[in-house]
Structure 1
């Protein structure tokens, strides 16, 4: 009987382990194939019971462990104060409010990450993108700054065929010239440029990933593994 009991315990343990793996794979699959409603529901289930302060602290430590905020050493109170002072939250816009139907809740982490300006670009893409303003030159320089030297364009120029476009953005990397062709998107940055840049830096093992919030877009350089970790554990709706 003693051996049978040990055998049953072992079998049950293996079954439980297999079920846990299966459940994890299901959750991962749900995260990778969900709608905005799904992101909201899962995010609320995972973070909805946290206070604003708890969620900020939880996210800060998660991203610090991933290598963000390297030049800072905020205490828990300091990071909470910094996030609340830096962002203009109100009763009408608060990504940390778990009030029902507040879809901005999904994007709370971005308003914490935004404090790491060496890794994060989080701006309104309506950047007065017109002939002569060199908005793409500015954007590429800013993306280079957050790229950990993985994207280092030189001699950046933009040429407009007419005031309505198209636009050709040119630059060199290690003496090789690149030209990226873009259509005019009103006075917004055409974020299709990111996919073209990613092809250029593909061998680095990194990609610029984006998350859109209304007119703002968050740009961050990540490996595939880092992106998956953030998407699955922080329920972040990256563009696909």
Structure 2
């Protein structure tokens, strides 16, 4: 299982939110490029990048930092946050981002994601952020009536790379992942699933191994890494991601 460190960008700095609340922000590093290079040096095999300003406004705000991070790293970078058009997704692919995470667009224009994934196979990730089983959009500011499991099933016949499932109620809390919610997604999805939200300890990471046979292939970790509750190298070994490397720095409708 792959351990994927997260960097959330807000006003050009590296932060973490508690349960997606923009009023509950903790700043960890004023230099996101330095932080990205640090995760790479510690053995990260990829980086999860979120533009929180973009997620809230729907407009590209942190492109300068995004470009600097992507060009500085040797490892692939996946990005989400405020990517609400096909044009924006393709622009980020052109910038060198490895995978593009689409959430709100998966609800608003699900067929467009299938078309985009067909054009760029294995480059598109569907982000399913949910609360009590229902999908949230617009940077978690709006809740839909769409079931997370139904959204996951819709993309089974597509060319997307994977699904990232985030449980909003546990995200940033360090209280442990919502295994029940993640299992429900993994049970219906034919695509690899990446877990996100709630990881606060090594035991939390180990608990996710019970979902590996269902297709949960990775886990995104944020605050627990920044707080030192989880050591990246130890976590990689514990979850079987043993090939450590030292990289140089440098819908409304489903019809």
TM-score range (shorter-chain normalised) is under 0.3
Question: Counting strand residues as a fraction of each chain, which structure ranks higher?
Answer: 2
Structure with the largest fraction of helix: 1
TM-score, normalisation: structure 2: 0.26
**Structure (1 or 2) with the larger CA radius of gyration:** 1
Give the number of the structure with larger relative contact order, counting CA–CA contacts within 8 Å between residues 6 or more apart: 2
